[in-house]
Structure 1
Amino acid sequence: MAKILQIETATQVCSVALSIDGKTIILKEESGQNLHAANLTLFIEEVIRKAGLTYQDVDAVAVSKGPGSYTGLRIGVSTAKGLCYALEKPLIAIETLEMMAAGFMMENPAYEALICPMIDARRMEVYAATFDASLKLLEPTSAKIIDETSFADLLAQHQVSFLGDGAAKCAEALNHPNAVFHPSNFNSAQYMSALAFNAFNQSCFEDVAYFEPFYLKDFVVTQPKPKV
């Protein structure tokens, strides 16, 4: 049996799951500002304990690699790499938007149109990718500034389900009969299970020493406004 510890910290959701052979058996998660640094290791300990396992019983560690929050990704990946190094276990990296699309399909197995997960990147910019119902990548991950012309070609021919914490702010700009918006974000480690199990079976592992998150954009330090 493949027992995989799964970590998702790309957004405001701090999420840890444990799966066996691609099925989630334990999940611990919480959503809010600045949760990851304080809670991630506690969530991992709780998941391991509730599963009745030790850290050495885990066969691999999977982490959501991005894109997403710079700080969240850094915390999640650093924690995953530290566990893999200490336990001598393989590291699996799962693309965050693919995980979200997989989660949508798990909850909507009869769906047959297109899926566009979005992660908020401030203002009218999002990180987005487009998949079909089999999770085939149709448009690769990119940073998009959304306006009324965005996704025009796809929407002219297909229904597209937009989801994630970047989707709601785009609803007014993407005003089209074929555009459907879903309130659920699907940023959860539970939706990593099948993807991580497939990667494990194919030995798709990362170099623990050199792996870096998929930030997509350089980190920009903003200066706080002076107090009046």
Structure 2
Amino acid sequence: MARLILIDTATAAGSVSFAEEGRVVASFGHSQAEDHAAYIADYVYRGLSQLQLNGTAIDAIAVSAGPGSYTGLRVGLSTAKGLCYAWNCQLILLPTMEIMAAGYRQLHPEIHEPGFLVPVLKSRKNEVYAALYKTDGTTIEPARPVQLDEEDFSTWRNYLPMHVFGEGADRIINKLQPLSVKIALDTTYQLHASHMAELAERAFCSGQFADLAYAEPFYLKPTYVGK
């Protein structure tokens, strides 16, 4: 039985879940902007205490690896790396957009094929991160930066009906809705570590582990350091 810790810090919200064989058994988190570094480790140890486990009982730690907040991604991955080193367990990196698509499918089982999911996260001004999936989870287009003033949105007509969701959805929807009535906006979806459970279990069973020494977040774009 695989025991996994799931960590998400890709957005202003932060969360930690514990899963066994793909089933979530404990979750902790906050929905508003917080200091991830101050909370995530506490969530981990609260979960261990609640489940009466110690760190050596954990088989792997999965983390949302990007895209997302540069600072948040670094906090999540560095926390996961430190715990993996301490407990001699495996590290799993999961793309943030795949987690969002999986979570949306879990929350909306009424959505059937054919159809498409478009998770969206905020980036810089006039830009978002977006990806495209079938409703069965198949990747059509992996996460990429979308320049709102430069993108040819007419090509998106090929992917209908479309469900657009995530914290950046309100930035992109006015570009998409004029194309078709078959484009639905959902501003209520919030990324959570619990949405990683099935993806993380699948990655664990197939041995898709990251190198602790060299693993880096999936920033998609260069990072910038202010002067």
1:185-221, Cα deviation, whole Å (9 max, x unpaired): 3411000000000000001101111100101111223
Question: How far, CA to CA, are the matches of 1:150 and 1:98 in structure 2?
Answer: 23
- 1:160-175 equivalent positions in 2, closer than 5 A: 160-175=162-177
Are the equivalent residues in 2 in contact too, given 1:147–1:173 (CA < 8 A)? Answer: no
The letter for the 2-side match of 1:126 is V
- 1:90-109 equivalent positions in 2, closer than 5 A: 90-109=90-109
Q: Equivalent pairs: percent with the same residue?
A: 36
Structure 2 SS opposite 1:47:
helix
- 1:1-228 equivalent positions in 2, closer than 5 A: 1-111=1-111, 112=113, 113-147=115-149, 150-155=152-157, 158-176=160-178, 177-222=181-226
Structure 2 SS opposite 1:100:
helix
Greater CA drift, 142-151 or 92-101: 142-151
The letter for the 2-side match of 1:199 is A
Question: How far, CA to CA, are the matches of 1:56 and 1:157 in structure 2?
Answer: 45
Structure 1 SS opposite 2:4:
strand
Question: How far, CA to CA, are the matches of 1:206 and 1:156 in structure 2?
Answer: 35
Task: Note the residue ranges of structure 2 that are not aligned, 5 or more in a row.
Answer: none
The letter for the 2-side match of 1:169 is R
Runs (4+) off by over 3 Å? 147-151
Are the equivalent residues in 1 in contact too, given 2:167–2:190 (CA < 8 A)? Answer: no
Structure 1 SS opposite 2:80:
helix
Quickly say closer, same or farther: Cα 1:106–1:157, change in 2 above 3 A.
closer
Question: How far, CA to CA, are the matches of 1:222 and 1:161 in structure 2?
Answer: 36
Structure 1 SS opposite 2:174:
coil
Question: How far, CA to CA, are the matches of 1:31 and 1:37 in structure 2?
Answer: 15
Greater CA drift, 50-59 or 9-18: 50-59
Structure 2 SS opposite 1:180:
strand
Question: How far, CA to CA, are the matches of 1:184 and 1:51 in structure 2?
Answer: 30
Question: How far, CA to CA, are the matches of 2:201 and 2:222 in structure 1?
Answer: 31
The letter for the 1-side match of 2:142 is P
Question: How far, CA to CA, are the matches of 1:192 and 1:172 in structure 2?
Answer: 29
Backbone CA RMSD of aligned residues: 1.6
The letter for the 1-side match of 2:177 is N
Quickly say closer, same or farther: Cα 1:58–1:180, change in 2 above 3 A.
same
Question: How far, CA to CA, are the matches of 2:26 and 2:55 in structure 1?
Answer: 15
1:226 alignment counterpart: none
Quickly say closer, same or farther: Cα 1:4–1:178, change in 2 above 3 A.
same
The letter for the 2-side match of 1:46 is R
The TM-score with structure 2 as length reference comes to 0.93
Question: How far, CA to CA, are the matches of 2:80 and 2:60 in structure 1?
Answer: 10
Q: CA deviation at 1:222?
A: 4.3
Task: Note the residue ranges of structure 1 that are not aligned, 5 or more in a row.
Answer: 224-228
- Decide which structure has greater helix share: 2
